[in-house]
Homo-oligomer: A and B are copies of this chain.
Amino acid sequence: MSLEHILLGLLREPASGYDLKKLFEERLSHIWRAELSQIYPTLKRLERRGLVDSREAAARRGSGRRLYALTKAGRQELHVWLSGPPQFADERMAWVAQLYFMGELEDLDQTMRFLGSVRAHFAAKLAALSAIQRMWTAADPRYPRDLPVEDLHVHFALRKGMCSLAAHIEWCDESVAELTARLEARSSGTSREPGAAEEAP
């Protein structure tokens, strides 16, 4: 189970369930997301298996917090996961399925609007990752060539997100261009469209 391993990875420094949720949002939002209702029971399971241990600590506010930390066995398990083969899972992309079936609507304007929404979505995500990279570049003169090994890997993961998103945007533009060419061909000369005949009967 990947969530377990990711929690082990995040627990290089001791953290509470609440902290871990924040770490997911701040550092891993482009890779994985997890809800508190999933994190808490998973931490308990990891503790039962001896991969993490916990101690109570004073809360800044609210009820007491429980800080979890990696055990030796936990670090070993993490290394096994990291040394193993890449774990691929096939994606489920509902929005691509929508596009796949959208010919059914026979409405290329709808397709155009749809591609616009898609492009905006990915552009926003790319802007967020670019901002992170810019911050990093400004803050650390070693970026990225001379980063410490750990940060280099984080950099790779960030670049993965940026490259994917940039490709999505380019694909949107390619598709919009193909659609536009088609719509122009339709509105000018050779038209067999049912709607076009209404213009000059």
Contacts and interface: CB of A to CB of B under 8 A. Distances in A.
A159 interface: yes
Contacts of A90: 29, 33
A169 to B, nearest CB: 10
Contact of A150 (B104, B150, B156): B104
A103 B149 contact: yes
- Which range holds the interface residue count of chain A? 35 or more
A31 B104 contact: no
A117 interface: yes
Given A32-B92, A104-B9, A160 B99 contact: yes
5 smallest CB-CB distances across A and B, nearest first, come from: A167-B167, A103-B150, A9-B101, A86-B95, A87-B94
Interface of A: 2, 5-6, 9, 12, 28-29, 31-33, 78-79, 81-106, 108, 110-111, 114, 117-118, 121, 144-145, 148-154, 156-157, 159-161, 163-164, 166-168, 170-171, 174-175, 178, 181-182
